[in-house]
Amino acid sequence: MASNEVCIVVIEDDHNISDLVAMYLRRDGFRVLQADDAESGLVLVERERPRLVIVDIGLPGELDGLDVCRRLAGRAPALPVLILSARDDEVDRILGLELGADDYVTKPFSARELVARVHAILRRSATPSAAAPAVAQYGSVVVDSGRREARVDHEVVPLATREFDLLAFLVENEGLALSRQQLLDGVWGHHWYGDERTVDVHVRQLRKKLGTDLPLATVWGVGYRLG
């Protein structure tokens, strides 16, 4: 996946951390642009159109990392975001995911693990599931895996990368009751470090954005089922 044409923007005010992350990503062939505050980071995003943004929550200035997520949440196609944070606070984690972040890494972290997560996010955002129907329709909701789009009444609904990945996986397994762990393994990967409530956050976002036509049912004591 790594290529000189794949651009990543790192928004981090700690220059030691920013330089370390950039160094490891560049070793893997990525083009990395760095910013030390939200405002300059957002300028880079608009100018360079990166494939992924890595952002620290605790940025100086009027905007923090969560504000960056809010600003990027409405983009179509979705721009993957990986959050860095010194705070291992569940509220921050859930809020970041609800705002569309694809992953959340707590400091201190392994730079190699961070690079592996970047690769995983980019693979998921670039490759639709081969087993998923090209287009699935549920009432006014259309899920187009080839275009990585969800539409309601012919209008594109902006979904975060991981939100669409979850939706596509549910479409691929339509009619099956899937446990939260199965959904984590299928969408986030077997080596993702997080708890099962992450699934609940993303399901809540899908229901909020796509409405009641999406037949996404809670299977009590198990997890979720589409259809």
Residue 47, pLDDT above cutoff 70: yes
Contact 34, 22 (CB under 8 A): yes
> 10 Å Cβ neighbour count for 130?
7
Residue 130, pLDDT above cutoff 70: no
**Cis preceding linkage at 50, omega within 30:** no
Phi/psi region, residue 65 (left: phi>0; alpha: psi -120 to 50; beta: rest), is: alpha
pLDDT band at 1 (very low <50, low <70, confident <90, very high): very low
- In DSSP terms, 128 is beta-bridged to none
The pTM is what?
0.66
pLDDT in tens, 181-212: 889 888 887 666 667 888 999 999 999 999 88
Residue with tokens 């030390």: 36
pLDDT band at 160 (very low <50, low <70, confident <90, very high): confident
For residue 79, the 8-state DSSP code is -
**Calpha distance 58→77 (Å, rounded):** 26
pLDDT of residue 18: 95
In the chain the domains, ranked by start, together with CATH numbers, are 7-126 (3.40.50.2300), 135-226 (1.10.10.10)
**Calpha distance 142→30 (Å, rounded):** 34
Residue with tokens 């291992």: 88
72 compared with 192, residue with greater pLDDT = 72
Q: Which two tokens stand for residue 101?
A: 């972040």
